[in-house]
Amino acid sequence: MAESVDEFIGRLVAMSRLTDDFGGLLRVVEEKERSLPDEHMIKVLKGWALHNLKRYDEAERSFDEAIALNPRSAWAFFRKGQMLAETGRDEDALACFGKAVALKPRRADFWVQKGQAEDRLGRLSDSFGSYERAIQLGDRSGWPQAGRARVLTFLNRFEEALDAVRTAMKLDPEEEAFRAYEQVILDKMRGY
């Protein structure tokens, strides 16, 4: 029996957790692409592998091919947004994240990325709303809490910011960025 696209995706995700060999993953995806040239998720996976190899132009073409094949592919928009954000194209990334959350509004991770792009663009009210949405959806990464803390710090609401970053730290005690941001807030509270 032939492997379904969903089974292939599961296998590839498992492989990615075992190795950082995105060149090897790309070869596996390209082999699958030969037998399924019109499957948009294969193009998304190819773009994801190319992105991780920092082959950004090729990754963007692959994501665009996926979107052309399926304009309702939230994953294509989300992964393209991640790649655009990494390359500093935050306006374009935000447009992609906006489409991703419109297509899959129950994905907390999509809202987190949207909030981070809004934050980088200085759209604090929008980013706060995106972080809140991710929290409401049950995000357990801590990043929307940390984002909330950042916005609250800009508003000089230090006690609330401290509570938010400490919640982030409880969710992911190993994340150094959360501890560093806690120190930033404490320094601001002390007037440094």
Tell me how far apart the alpha carbons of residues 74 and 118 are, in angstroms, rounded to a whole number: 18
Q: How many CB atoms lie within 10 A of CB 173?
A: 10
Q: What is the pLDDT of residue 7?
A: 79
Q: What is the pLDDT of residue 128?
A: 97
Tell me how far apart the alpha carbons of residues 137 and 129 are, in angstroms, rounded to a whole number: 12
DSSP 136-172: HTT--SSHHHHHHHHHHHHTT-HHHHHHHHHHHHHH-
pTM above 0.85, yes or no: yes
Q: What is the pLDDT of residue 20?
A: 77
Give the residue extent of every domain in the chain. Answer: 1-104, 106-192
CATH topology of domain 106-192: 1.25.40
Q: What is the pLDDT of residue 88?
A: 96
Tell me how far apart the alpha carbons of residues 179 and 2 are, in angstroms, rounded to a whole number: 48
DSSP 2-31: PPPHHHHHHHHHHHHHH---HHHHHHHHHH
Instruction: Specify the 3-state DSSP secondary structure of 71.
Output: coil
CATH topology of domain 1-104: 1.25.40
Q: pLDDT tens track of the chain, all 192 residues?
A: 566 777 777 777 777 766 778 888 899 889 889 988 999 999 999 999 999 999 999 999 999 999 999 999 999 999 999 999 999 999 999 999 999 999 999 999 999 999 999 999 999 999 999 999 999 999 999 999 999 999 999 999 999 999 999 999 999 999 999 999 999 999 999 986
